[in-house]
Amino acid sequence: MANHKSALKRIRSNESKRVLNKYQHKTTRNVIKKLRETTDKKEAQKLFSTVSSMIDKLAKNNIIHDNKAANLKSGLSKFVAAL
């Protein structure tokens, strides 16, 4: 158990941040799956811009690595272009 007030606060703040990060990451993954299941090109392009900004936000907040974000966006852009 933590011995300092600051350590107790850190435990609480880490937990709340973990839950928020998990929610954002899971939501982004679900939208990526939805995009990959799309067959309509116009809808896919519209969804791609949303997904791209979500991925950028995850990378900015260090929820995912910058290179992973770049690889995801690259693969999704190839997928949308191939429709």
User: Structural domain of residue 81, as residue ranges?
Assistant: 40-83
Over its C-alpha atoms, the chain yields an Rg (Å, rounded) of 17
Quote the pLDDT of residue 3: 84
Helix axes 41-60, 66-82, angle to 10 degrees: 180
Quote the pLDDT of residue 83: 87
Quote the pLDDT of residue 2: 77
Domains contained in the chain, number: 1
The answer to whether residue 10 sits within a structural domain is no
The answer to whether residue 44 sits within a structural domain is yes
Per-residue pLDDT of the chain (83 residues; tens, 9 = 90+): 778 999 999 999 999 999 999 999 999 999 999 999 999 999 999 999 999 999 999 999 999 999 999 999 999 999 999 98
- Token representation of residue 30: 């679900």
* pTM of structure: 0.84
